[in-house]
């Protein structure tokens, strides 16, 4: 089958070579954007007097018909036409005849594909922002149910200090807020039109690039035609932002996996977000959390793959840039589904409140309370720290905890210690005394939830 660009060529590649070079197996996903860009382009060509109005109408009618066929699954994408642009152009030629050839006036596939990807990412980033908002709302809702739920806070995966479970969940709300802010900021660089840059140097036709940008809803146009056709920074930025999102989700998944284990028993995943074993009847595995954790590496790979592709490509377009799409499509799908699954897991998980609270009572996470108590009674903190450290060691030797030490033994350590020490050592007291801004005290957590709800309402 003769290709639309075959005029200069005397021989055709074999099918397996054509298959290697074709991008239609994945860039068919740009069909709607490609048609939208073509409609804007042909409208501009008519406005500028480059083609006749009746030719414009024929082309637009044909493109709209093809768009409908694709939407209904009735369009036959073929490897013979190698990419989405030529597949649509060939179908348009078959439908309306030679006038279809005027569509490509003052345009190259180089600025055409770049336009498609800008349009695609603009829409997909908006969708991902909405999914981030949804997950944030789920986290805030769950946090509001567990303001008073005690759990151990960890450093080095060792019990550190008692905290509110709601406070812990809100840490992920904050991470996702930064993710959302980065994506929103990136839209400034996605929302730029390269259409009209042509192959690399612009065009001799009297086109109006601002008109096509306006028709497509772009807020700006590329100032330099070379940059317009070769820039893929906006995709790298998206992949980088996606990697950060997945890293945050993976951290939370790691905690869900730990918390749902027999050793922790802090939570239980809903049945629809767990699987069983083919040999061990008792198993309930957190597979979906593990999948998100695993797919994080996949998104990292997409980022490093494109960075590597671009590091050695001279200006302007090179066939290497065909490798910009699969990773982008994959990251969009992976991040989107992961956000949905995570929202479902958090919303449906059962929290074992008593187990969490009990775990803060049979440990030494209240040791800092005793050190602070001594410091508040005039003992230098470093001295207080050493006193408590030695007492913790003594308790470990005896198989008891700080709240089990008798008052007489406490007063033998320091006469400043009074009977109120037992209230100070209580986990809930320890949590609520941390009432500094952003701390784990109940009132601070409630205030954080109010701020989060107000932000989400915007």
- Catalytic positions: 156, 277
- Pairing, β 150-155 against β 158-164: antiparallel
Find out whether 164 and 451 touch, Cβ atoms under 8 Å.
Answer: no
Q: Give the C-alpha separation, 127 to 133, whole Å.
A: 10
Q: Give the C-alpha separation, 192 to 214, whole Å.
A: 11
Q: Give the C-alpha separation, 43 to 31, whole Å.
A: 18
Q: Give the C-alpha separation, 28 to 85, whole Å.
A: 9
Cα 323 to Cα 41, 318, 334: the distances in Å are: 25, 10, 18
Tokens of 106: 């003052």
Q: Give the C-alpha separation, 226 to 233, whole Å.
A: 14
Residues near 409 by beta carbon (within 8 Å), at least 6 away in sequence: none
Cα-only R_g, the chain: 31
Q: Give the C-alpha separation, 413 to 391, whole Å.
A: 9
Q: Give the C-alpha separation, 116 to 104, whole Å.
A: 15
Q: Give the C-alpha separation, 445 to 453, whole Å.
A: 12
């Amino acid at each position: 089958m003769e290709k639309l660009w075959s005029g200069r060529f005397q021989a055709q590649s074999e099918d397996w070579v054509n298959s290697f070079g074709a991008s239609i197996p994945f860039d068919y996903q740009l069909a709607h954007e490609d048609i939208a860009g073509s409609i804007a382009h042909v409208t501009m060509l008519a406005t500028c007097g480059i083609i006749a109005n009746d030719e414009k109408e024929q082309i637009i009618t044909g493109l709209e018909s093809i768009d409908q066929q694709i939407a209904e699954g009735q369009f036959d994408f073929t490897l013979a036409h190698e990419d989405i642009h030529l597949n649509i152009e060939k179908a348009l030629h078959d439908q309306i005849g030679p006038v279809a050839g005027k569509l490509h006036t003052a345009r190259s596939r180089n600025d055409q594909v770049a336009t498609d990807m800008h349009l695609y990412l603009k829409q997909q980033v908006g969708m991902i922002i909405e999914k981030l908002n949804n997950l944030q709302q789920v986290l805030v809702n769950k946090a509001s149910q567990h303001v008073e739920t005690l759990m151990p806070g960890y450093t080095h995966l060792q019990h550190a200090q008692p905290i509110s479970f709601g406070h812990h969940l809100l840490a992920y709300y904050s991470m996702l807020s930064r993710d959302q802010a980065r994506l929103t900021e990136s839209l400034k660089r996605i929302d730029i039109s390269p259409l009209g840059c042509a192959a690399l140097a612009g065009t001799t036709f009297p086109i109006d690039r601002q008109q096509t940008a306006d028709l497509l809803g772009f807020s700006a146009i590329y100032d330099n035609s070379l940059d317009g056709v070769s820039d893929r920074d906006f995709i790298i930025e998206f992949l980088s932002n996606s990697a950060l999102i997945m890293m945050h989700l993976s951290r939370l998944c790691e905690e869900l996996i730990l918390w749902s284990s027999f050793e922790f028993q802090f939570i239980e995943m809903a049945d629809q977000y767990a699987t069983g074993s083919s040999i061990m009847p008792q198993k309930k595995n957190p597979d979906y959390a593990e999948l998100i954790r695993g797919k994080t590496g996949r998104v990292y790979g997409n980022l490093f793959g494109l960075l590597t592709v671009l590091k050695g490509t001279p200006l302007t377009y090179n066939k290497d840039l065909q490798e910009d799409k699969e990773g982008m499509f994959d990251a969009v799908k992976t991040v989107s589904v992961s956000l949905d699954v995570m929202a479902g897991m958090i919303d449906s998980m059962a929290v074992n409140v008593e187990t969490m609270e009990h775990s803060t009572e049979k440990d030494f996470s209240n040791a800092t309370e005793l050190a602070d108590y001594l410091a508040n009674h005039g003992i230098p903190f470093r001295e207080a720290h050493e006193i408590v450290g030695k007492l913790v060691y003594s308790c470990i030797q005896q198989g008891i905890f700080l709240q089990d030490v008798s008052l007489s033994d406490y007063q033998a350590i320091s006469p400043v210690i009074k009977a109120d020490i037992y209230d100070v050592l209580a986990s809930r007291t320890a949590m609520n005394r941390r009432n500094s801004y952003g701390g784990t005290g109940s009132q601070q957590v409630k205030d954080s939830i109010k701020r989060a709800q107000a932000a989400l309402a915007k």
